[in-house]
Amino acid sequence: MAKKVTKKTVTETLSEDGTKKTVVKEHAPKTVAKKRNSDGAKKMTAREREELLIENFVGLQHAMTNMSIKFGMLSENISKLLQVFEESAKNFISGEKGDDKDMLNKIDSLLDQNKTIAKGLVLMEGKLRGRTDEPRPMQPGSRMPPSRPKPLPRI
């Protein structure tokens, strides 16, 4: 028993509400014998050419529809982004300077706490190594206190 051969065409489109619509069309192949040129290429009949052009045109229309929907969504997103930038610019221009002062005070207190913690760690490190002398003061502009070089291992 011979199988029936069908050609399937799947088309996906987006509706205005954003849902996908999938259409599957099945076509039975034509059983008309095709004429051949002198060079061996198959000739298309006028009817076949028209059907092929119509299929291509419908496919192009679907692609254009999807493209226009996506461009519409893109323009909406860009307008929303511009609104966000406009709001942030207005807030930046009319922003209060008191918030900046509060933030700077908090950063200063955080730096002081960091210095205190660093001094405590240096003291703890000195006690763990068996040193009883006070740690050397930090040099201005350096992040870490000066440390002694470790002795090289002996072989």
The DSSP secondary structure of 40-106, one letter per residue, reads: SPBPPPHHHHHHHHHHHHHHHHHHHHHHHHHHHHHHHHHHHHHHHHHHHHHHHHT--SHHHHHHHHH
Q: Is the pLDDT of residue 139 over 80?
A: no
Q: Is the pLDDT of residue 61 over 80?
A: yes
Q: How confident is the model at residue 56 (pLDDT cuts 50, 70, 90)?
A: very high
pLDDT computed for residue 49 by the predictor: 93
Q: How confident is the model at residue 82 (pLDDT cuts 50, 70, 90)?
A: very high
Say yes or no: 51 and 90 in one domain.
yes
Say yes or no: 52 and 87 in one domain.
yes
| Overall domain count for the chain | 2
Which element (helix H / strand E) includes 130? none
For residue 37, tell me if it sits in a domain. no
Pairing between β-strand 20-27 and β-strand 7-14 as defined by DSSP bridges: antiparallel
Instruction: List the beta bridge partners of residue 26.
Output: 8
Say yes or no: 90 and 101 in one domain.
no
Say yes or no: 58 and 86 in one domain.
yes
Say yes or no: 123 and 101 in one domain.
yes
pLDDT computed for residue 85 by the predictor: 92
Q: Is the pLDDT of residue 18 over 80?
A: no
Signed CA dihedral, 91, 96, 100, 102: sign only = negative
Mean pLDDT value across residues 53-64: 95
For residue 4, tell me if it sits in a domain. no
For residue 100, tell me if it sits in a domain. yes
Say yes or no: 82 and 119 in one domain.
no
Averaging pLDDT over each range in 26-30, 40-44, 51-55, 92-96, which range is the top one?
51-55
Distance CA 17, CA 83 (A): 23
Residues 8/24, Cβ–Cβ less than 8 Å? yes
Q: How confident is the model at residue 30 (pLDDT cuts 50, 70, 90)?
A: low
| pTM for this model (two decimals) | 0.36
For residue 115, tell me if it sits in a domain. yes
Q: Which domain holds residue 125?
A: 96-129
For residue 107, tell me if it sits in a domain. yes
For residue 35, tell me if it sits in a domain. no
Distance CA 149, CA 127 (A): 17
Say yes or no: 107 and 91 in one domain.
no
pLDDT computed for residue 86 by the predictor: 92
Residues 7/27, Cβ–Cβ less than 8 Å? yes
pLDDT computed for residue 81 by the predictor: 94
